[in-house]
A = this chain, B = another copy of it.
Amino acid sequence: MSSSFHQKSLDLLSEQFGSKGIHIDSLLSKIAAFQIAVPSWALGAGGTRFGRFSIGGEPRNLEEKLEDIGLLAKLTKRTDAVSLHIPWDIPQDVQAIKQKATSLGIGFDAMNSNTFQDYGQRHSYKMGSLSNANATIRKQAIEHNLQVIEIGKSLGSKGLTVWLADGSNFPGQAHFRKALQGTTESLQEIYAGMPADWKLLLEYKPYEPNFYHTVIPDWGTSALLCRQLGDRAKVLVDLGHHLPNTNIEQIVATLMHQNMLAGFHFNDSKYGDDDLSTGSIKPYQLFLIFCELIGGAEEKAQAWESISWMIDASHNTKDPLEDLIQALEAISQAYAKAVLVDREKLTQCQNEGDVVGAQEVLQEAFLTDVRALVREARIQSGGEADPLAYYRSEKIREKLITKRGKNAQASGL
């Protein structure tokens, strides 16, 4: 990509949108302002139940995870926060970690608790945690979440993300209503333990790791629970957490209509919770989701600032840092295209029943090649013109392997 070609592309886009009254500078500053958090567990290789293939040079501790995210921030200028997971990321020296993060330009996004695994805690979560039939185990799971809040407070985080894997594998195993009621009461205790300026982000997922029933399987159940908690409890949408053929963009709209969208876990999928790189399978769906987000914010259904953004993918066969660079780029492109939608014309088509025209309006934006815009925004922010090329030409993975070792393995799944 020569810089002259970049400039010509930019000029053409500038002409195209300028003629519609959209100033390119305003586009560039919107794109530049949109930042997506990266989870600490996304920096190592992922895996499946059938095994895991090493990447090499994975971060061995929290400091190194921060360094990786700092690198992503420096190259892409699209991320400025990390989302930590407890117990995988318990900081030994809180002040040192905070300083390190600050020096890298990284803040602390929502904290993640873990009550889906056994990692040495007293009682097993095999039969559930916040929904467990046994009050003692529910209590343990509540206390774990309260501890996560404490750690988050010390770091400056402002949110708690709860992914509740609880459920059952066979009919009869769980009592659906009791499990739901138990979860409600457990979450109420956790919510009560949150500082007044925190929010609770509640995920839903139809299946896996449980294969018959999951306590919070859909947005409706998550919203039901949030309503019983309070205004600062909202529904988190993970793109891979839906049954086949779900219209996710409609769920986004419905949640914003209720001012109940907590935020996103970005990834992509073809079959289930595949955790593939965002934008690699269904880029048009990603664009349509951003159309709803921007529309919902512009029309005051829910404030843009109230929504959290995070990537959550599993890098089974890609270098995690390269994958994250691709994902940040795909998200930025989808966002930029959605900004370009001529919403006035779209409204007119909708009011007139002009179905063909409405499709044209959306595709006019989607088909536009916005790469020069995203690139320019990145350059203006001080990032690399082509982060992936830079990463490769600088042999960053090789250097990480040299430094951290071939068999370094990040904590996580």
Residues of A within 8 A of B (CB): 5, 8-9, 12, 15-16, 46-51, 53, 116-118, 124-127, 133-134, 165, 168-178, 180-181, 206-209, 211-213, 217-221, 223-224, 243-247, 249-250, 253-254, 256-258, 269-272, 274-277, 280-284, 288, 291-292, 295-296, 299, 301, 314, 316-319, 322-323, 326, 333, 346-347, 349-351, 353, 355-356, 358-362, 366-369, 371, 388, 413
- What is the chain B residue whose CB lies nearest that of A252? B176
Q: Could you tell me if A413 and B280 are in contact, using CB atoms closer than 8 angstroms?
A: no
- On chain B, the residues within 8 Å of A280 by CB distance are 170-171, 359
- What is the chain B residue whose CB lies nearest that of A215? B250
The answer to whether residues A50 and B117 also contact, given A177-B257, A356-B326, A369-B367 and a CB cut-off of 8 A, is yes
- On chain B, the residues within 8 Å of A356 by CB distance are 318-319, 322-323, 326, 388
- What is the chain B residue whose CB lies nearest that of A287? B171
- On chain B, the residues within 8 Å of A174 by CB distance are 350
Q: List 8 A-B contacts (CB under 8 A).
A: A134-B351, A170-B317, A170-B358, A176-B253, A177-B296, A220-B221, A244-B244, A280-B359
Q: Could you tell me if B208 and A48 are in contact, using CB atoms closer than 8 angstroms?
A: yes
A116 to chain B: closest CB distance in Å? 5
Pick from B9, B124, B173, B250: contact of A53, CB below 8 A. B124
Q: Could you tell me if B213 and A250 are in contact, using CB atoms closer than 8 angstroms?
A: yes
Q: Could you tell me if B169 and A276 are in contact, using CB atoms closer than 8 angstroms?
A: yes
